Structure 1
Amino acid sequence: MARDVDEARLRELALLRRVRDRMDREYARPLDVEALARGVHMSAGHLSRQFKAAYGESPYAYLMTRRIERAMTLLRRGDLTVTEVCFEVGCASLGTFSSRFTELVGMPPSVYRREAQDGFGGLPSLVVKSVTRPVRNREARRESARIA
């Protein structure tokens, strides 16, 4: 009986991984929890609960983090406006994009674009990506609590 439960859990984790991989691949496309859930034959509520239990954040939060990471890369390149970057990464609202960007990165996208063009010259892209990875507020608090 325990083996059946373990196998069912592994199958569900594999489905959740497929959802996460799809978000990583298709971040710029319009994705919603209902469409993601249909793709793995789950209800949207069940997918949301299980995804959060497995990865520590909701599918929407995970997708927005991926979009903001890609936006940071495009803004560092400097050849697109903030509005163009917003739509390039799959966001439909410049206001929502700017709010989420500011929440995750700590500064508005226009400021990040300006500062990134000045501050990362000569560093390998792998180092820049690692150093500039967005950190959610709750993760930052957890890190500072461990340091203190």
Structure 2
Amino acid sequence: MFMARNPQQQKLADIIAIRRVRDRIDREYDRPLNVGELARGAYMSAGHLSREFKRIYGEPPYSYLMTRRIERAKTLLRRGDLSVTEVCFAVGSASLGTFSTRFSELVGVSPSVYQQGHGGEAAGLPPCVTRQVSRPVRNQEAKGSATP
């Protein structure tokens, strides 16, 4: 027999499910992922997943996925041993154009420009600090944090 959960129990269950979705995105960023598939894995609708993910983490699941991909792309581009196209596909993007556009939006320069000289921002920093320093920032966030 099915027992209904009280609202607090349901909210906690949703938080746990959303955390698992985030962990899956972190692990599988380089694979083809979409909100419908992530929602099925969490046993909820795509709309509910998107709303709850944004409520908990401040951005929709697709934006979070793209941020992870761009973070990894920045690391690969700083290494310099792969072309921009190879990096694009290594991080799970299916389209070089979409990847380049999104990269430019989040980082402020194109992937090729970043690779040629903007990759030194984290030089000499320990890996635990590099991720924080090199995390992509959306243009809206950057504009909102600028001081006059």
The answer to whether structure 1 residue 44 and structure 2 residue 46 are counterparts is yes
Unpaired segments ≥5 residues, structure 1: none
Unpaired segments ≥5 residues, structure 2: none
The answer to whether structure 1 residue 138 and structure 2 residue 122 are counterparts is no
Q: Equivalent residues in 2 for 1:1-148 (5 A)?
A: 4-116=6-118, 121-144=123-146, 147-148=147-148
Deviation at 1:124, TM superposition (A): 3.4
Cα distance in 2, alignment partners of residues 44 and 139 from structure 1:
26
Deviates more, 1:16-25 or 1:4-13: 4-13
Identity %: 62
- Paired residues, number: 144
Deviation at 1:119, TM superposition (A): 6.2
Cα distance in 2, alignment partners of residues 106 and 70 from structure 1:
16
CA RMSD of aligned residues (A): 1.8
Cα distance in 2, alignment partners of residues 118 and 54 from structure 1:
33
Kept in 2, the 8 Å contact 1:98–1:108? The answer is yes
Cα distance in 2, alignment partners of residues 93 and 34 from structure 1:
20
Q: TM-score, normalised to structure 1's length?
A: 0.89
Code of the residue aligned with 2:31 in structure 1: it is: R
